[in-house]
Amino acid sequence: MFTPAFSRLLLAAGLAAAALSPVALAQRGGGRPDLPSGPAGITLYSDTNLRGAAVELTGDQPNFNTIRFNDHARSIEVRGGVWLVCSDGNYRGQCEYIDRTVRNLGEIGLSGAISSAKRVPYDKGPRSYDIAFFADGNFSGPFLGFDEGEANFSKFRFNDTASSVMVNRGTWLVCEDADYRGQCELLDASTGNLAAIGLNDKITSFRRYNVRREGPWRRPVVPAPAPIRDTRSGFEGEQSVFFPAPTYNGRRINDGSGAATRFCQSMGFYEAAYKAPGPVLSDVVCR
């Protein structure tokens, strides 16, 4: 059920991310072979496992009373498109995106409880991704989905935009600044309101967090300014540590985006204050 990372989807679709708005990025991308690819349509069944009385939809239906199927559906066959199904009329109440057949709607809390459905302008469902960021609260508005972390949201033109996050798989560290700096919070479940954790319209970077490898996460504390002494060859701070050749499990660490800060945080520091350029991390100063 995993998709490639979002950047690879953009390449497959031949899109230039820098030239697209968040809406365009959310609405376009490469295809997925495991999702239905035919004309948009769903069939709702009164019983689980696609059995019982059935109703077919190929377009929006704001009120299931008009088709005499209100609160009847217990399974859905998706033949094409991504659909928003809701417990109340006019697409209100509890709503879920679906992009594949659901044989038991109880799995998403909507068994015998669907009153409206419409096709949404996304060719990917948020649940296809390990984590999805939404521009609006309650998992609505344009969204971007990912399977891997990103050290800077700016290249997707989605910086400081997210108001809610859907976490489908894994534990994630989300931060207000690039390279996983600034205020960070650990998420292992979806949140429909990022304001509740002080990150509404503030997320700039995010990455997976491996509790087994990195240990219980503790909110980083910005080090207090410390006295600085002058030396003939430069300045030596009392709150920093220099690592000339960082390694992980005995191997040098590739110098990818945000790698230095990730290394410093794994060593219990707040961030990387400096790193030398090169293909692997070297001359890293952590504070």
Among 269, 260, 256, 179, smallest CA distance to 221 is for 269
106 — alpha (psi -120 to 50), left (phi > 0) or beta? alpha
Q: What number is the average pLDDT over the span 48-70?
A: 95
Q: What number is the average pLDDT over the span 196-214?
A: 91
Among 38, 49, 50, 47, smallest CA distance to 79 is for 38
Q: Which residue has the tokens 């498109």?
A: 81
Residue 76, pLDDT score: 96
Alpha helices in 1-126 (DSSP H): 6-13, 22-27
Cβ proximity of 158 and 201 under 8 Å: no
CA distances from 107 to 25, 112, 122 (A): 29, 12, 22
Higher pLDDT, 92 or 268: 92
Tokens of 53: 């009385």
> Is residue 100 classed as helix, strand or coil in its secondary structure?
coil
Is 259 a residue whose pLDDT tops 70? yes
> Is residue 250 classed as helix, strand or coil in its secondary structure?
coil
State the pLDDT confidence band at 238, using cuts at 50, 70 and 90: low
Q: What is the pTM of this model?
A: 0.48
CATH code of the region 37-120: 2.60.20.10
Cβ proximity of 15 and 28 under 8 Å: yes
- Residue ranges of the chain assigned to CATH 2.60.20.10: 6-32+126-214, 37-120
Higher pLDDT, 142 or 108: 108
Please write the tens of the pLDDT for every residue from 6-29: 333 332 333 233 333 333 233 323
- Bridge partner residues of 205 (DSSP): 175
State the pLDDT confidence band at 79, using cuts at 50, 70 and 90: confident
Average pLDDT across the chain, whole number:
78
State the pLDDT confidence band at 215, using cuts at 50, 70 and 90: confident
Of 61-70, 115-124, 182-191, the poorest mean pLDDT is in 115-124
Residue 53, pLDDT score: 96
Q: Is the dihedral of CA 46, 49, 55, 60 positive or negative?
A: positive
- Give the CA angle between residues 51, 57, 63 to the nearest 5°: 100
Residue 122, pLDDT score: 54
CA distances from 71 to 44, 68, 76, 87, 111 (A): 11, 9, 13, 8, 8
Q: What number is the average pLDDT over the span 130-149?
A: 85
Looking at the structure, give the CATH architecture of the domain made up of residues 6-32+126-214.
Sandwich (2.60)
